[in-house]
Amino acid sequence: MAFVRVEQRNAHLAGSVRLHTVQGRDGPVSKATLTAISNTRKGSGDNRGEEATAILWTLWGKQAENAAQYLGKGSHVNVVGRVQNNNYDKDGETVYAMAFTAEEIDYLDTKAAGDALRAKQGPAPEEGDASPPTRNPEKARAAKTAKGRKAAAQTAAMADADDDIAF
């Protein structure tokens, strides 16, 4: 099996860090997931565009607990970790996936900026918790529908892309 190192620099968190406890071999272990987005510029001149890359990272143990305590939506980070195959069979079909595990995480915000972000957002939800109630259900439904359309358009664009994956 090959070891592949992944670096995501100057990223910002797309949402709150989700922390929960799982049963490990030696007892309960903290596990956190976070989605970091980094932007890169491609091309030159009039063809210059920006491309966003979002990676769902998994953190373990004390690193997970610290991330849940000190990071919030919009926090700036550098993440270094590894990628592994996470393929499985479902209904006789092989589903291909990758898992990203963080080994190092650098907190790029100042303490004051991090405290301000967390105070503005409130406590992070535990994984599996219901989403917080909204005051306007129609507005929430419209936002959810718009997100679904945007995700479908991005998926279609990715499927139509002619670029080869560079790994």
Please state the rounded mean pLDDT for residues 4-21.
Answer: 91
Tokens encoding 9: 């620099």
**pLDDT score of 48:** 76
**pLDDT score of 43:** 76
pLDDT at 158 over 70: no
Please choose, from the candidates 18, 21, 15, the residue with its C-alpha nearest in 3D space to the C-alpha of residue 32.
Answer: 18
pLDDT in tens, 85-112: 888 899 999 999 899 999 999 999 888 8
| Banded pLDDT at 113 (limits 50, 70, 90) | confident
Please state the rounded mean pLDDT for residues 136-158.
Answer: 54
Contact yes or no for 36/8 (Cβ under 8 A): yes
pLDDT at 125 over 70: no
Q: How far apart are CA 70 and CA 114, in angstroms?
A: 7
pLDDT in tens, 43-77: 777 777 888 889 999 999 999 999 999 998 999 99
pLDDT at 133 over 50: no
Give me the residues paired with residue 107 across strands: 77
Contact yes or no for 80/69 (Cβ under 8 A): no
**pLDDT score of 77:** 95
